[in-house]
Structure 1
Amino acid sequence: MLRRDYLVRMIEDMTEILGKVFALKQEKKSVEARTELDELYKRHFRLNAQLLGTLSAKDIVQMFRTGGEIEADKLQSLARLLKEEGDLLASSGEPDEGISRWLKSLHLYLTSALSGADRSLWDWEDKIAELRSLLQDYRLPAETGRLVFRYEEQEGRFDQAENVLFRLLEEEEISKDEGLAFYQRLLRLPPERLEAGGLPEEEVREGLAELESRF
């Protein structure tokens, strides 16, 4: 309960400042807006924008790992700020830096979603969808692509997971064994669950056969 209260207070503070950041962005005051975000990084995560710009997404995740478990809700909160910073950078003439922040934000959101993050805190499903749309013309890092595959399966969108799987296989960013394990997991599910996930049992077996023949 105390943990939940802390998170709620943190999010209330972040939401208030993000409202201020939005107003500054509308006024074309990007420097002031980024200063506000930097203060949030420092206040709630003991980090700063410069350091976050140099760290890889994987390194950032490691900083939120305690006792072998990921602090999923803090991680998704940081992802929210990185997304906002990416928007600011992209709209103020630094598109490459903006894309870099979006990629890190997506990786952090996916990791938190796969680690039991509270969906109600920042509505990470919508944020993940928005980031994937923003990055649709860019090739995701291999580790992020693998997270997308796992995420689609977790969310029960088996047809989408299969699409991601074959793309990763073609790019040699995932092993055939992992693909086989995916189909084996699906074949243990009830037919109605597969139907709901857009991949009926017959198509699961077809996909498995294609995997065996192509790879």
Structure 2
Amino acid sequence: MYRRDYLVRLVEDMTKLIAHVFRLKQERKHTEALQKVEDLLRRQFRLNSKLLGSLSASDIEKLFHNQGFLDADSLQSAARMLEEEADILMDMGREEEAVLHLTKVLELYLTAILHGADRKLLGLPQRIADVRDKLRAYAMPVSVERLYFTYTEQEGDFAEAENTLYRLLDQNGMAPDEARQFYQRLLQLEPEELERGGLPLDEVYEGMAELDRQYADSI
């Protein structure tokens, strides 16, 4: 109960802050907006923007482990603040820095949801979709693509999982045999489920055939 109350209060604080930051961005008060995010990070997580900017996503994740368990809800909350900071940086024209932040955010969100984070606390699936859309024009690291592949398959978004699979193959981030196992898993599902996931049964067979053509010597 105490844990849930803490998270509810945290989300309330974050909601108020995001609304305040939005007004500051409209007024072009970017430095003040960044300071508001910094204040909440320090108050709630004892972290600061400089530290989060210097650490990799995997190192940030380690900060949220307690006795071998990942505090996935605190992780997604900290990532939400990092996302807000990235949006401010983008608004300031600091695109490269903002993209680096957003890439970390996406990895942290994916890690959180794959470790059982409360999906409704911050609307996590929608947050993932929003950040992924912001990064469509940029190449993602293999580590992020692999998390995204796992997530989209688990979500039943098979068409998006297949798209990610081919990006991984192009980056040598996935072996052809592992890719074929994806299609084999899909063949265990009902045709109606495949339809809902955007990859009908005939397209699953087409995907397997294309994979075999492209990687005949590797499978």
Question: TM-score category by the smaller chain?
Answer: over 0.9
- 1:79-102 deviation per Cα after TM superposition (whole angstroms, max 9, x unaligned): 111111011111113221111111
Q: Does 1:147 align with 2:147?
A: yes
1:142 partner letter: V
**Counterpart position of 1:16:** 16
- 1:75-134 deviation per Cα after TM superposition (whole angstroms, max 9, x unaligned): 111111111101111111322111111111111111112222212111122222221221
**Counterpart position of 1:212:** 212
Question: Within 5 A, what are the aligned runs for 1:185-204?
Answer: 185-204=185-204
Deviation at 1:157, TM superposition (A): 0.9
Deviation at 1:140, TM superposition (A): 0.6
Hey, what's the Cα distance between the residues in 2 that align with 1:189 and 1:66?
A: 37
Deviation at 1:175, TM superposition (A): 2.0
Hey, what's the Cα distance between the residues in 1 that align with 2:43 and 2:17?
A: 12
Hey, what's the Cα distance between the residues in 1 that align with 2:188 and 2:63?
A: 36
Residue 121 of structure 2 aligns to a residue in which SS? helix
67-76 or 51-60, larger mean C-alpha shift: 67-76
**Counterpart position of 1:85:** 85
Hey, what's the Cα distance between the residues in 1 that align with 2:66 and 2:178?
A: 27
**Counterpart position of 1:50:** 50
Deviation at 1:70, TM superposition (A): 2.3
Deviation at 1:208, TM superposition (A): 2.2
Mind listing any 5+ residue stretches in structure 1 that lack a counterpart? none
> Aligned pair in 2 of structure 1 residues 90, 178: CA closer, same or farther (>3 Å)?
same
**Counterpart position of 2:6:** 6
133-142 or 189-198, larger mean C-alpha shift: 189-198
**Counterpart position of 1:124:** 124
Hey, what's the Cα distance between the residues in 2 that align with 1:89 and 1:198?
A: 35
Hey, what's the Cα distance between the residues in 2 that align with 1:191 and 1:38?
A: 49
2:126 partner letter: D
> Aligned pair in 2 of structure 1 residues 179, 68: CA closer, same or farther (>3 Å)?
farther
Residue 137 of structure 2 aligns to a residue in which SS? coil
Aligned residues: 215
Q: What's the Cα RMSD here? A: 1.6
**Counterpart position of 2:164:** 164
Hey, what's the Cα distance between the residues in 1 that align with 2:54 and 2:138?
A: 20
**Counterpart position of 1:111:** 111
**Counterpart position of 1:74:** 74
- 1:11-61 deviation per Cα after TM superposition (whole angstroms, max 9, x unaligned): 111212222222222221111111111111111111100001100112112
Hey, what's the Cα distance between the residues in 1 that align with 2:152 and 2:18?
A: 29
Hey, what's the Cα distance between the residues in 2 that align with 1:66 and 1:32?
A: 33
Identity of aligned residues (%): 51
- 1:136-182 deviation per Cα after TM superposition (whole angstroms, max 9, x unaligned): 11101111111111111111111111111012101211222321332
Q: Does 1:25 align with 2:25?
A: yes
> Aligned pair in 2 of structure 1 residues 30, 6: CA closer, same or farther (>3 Å)?
same
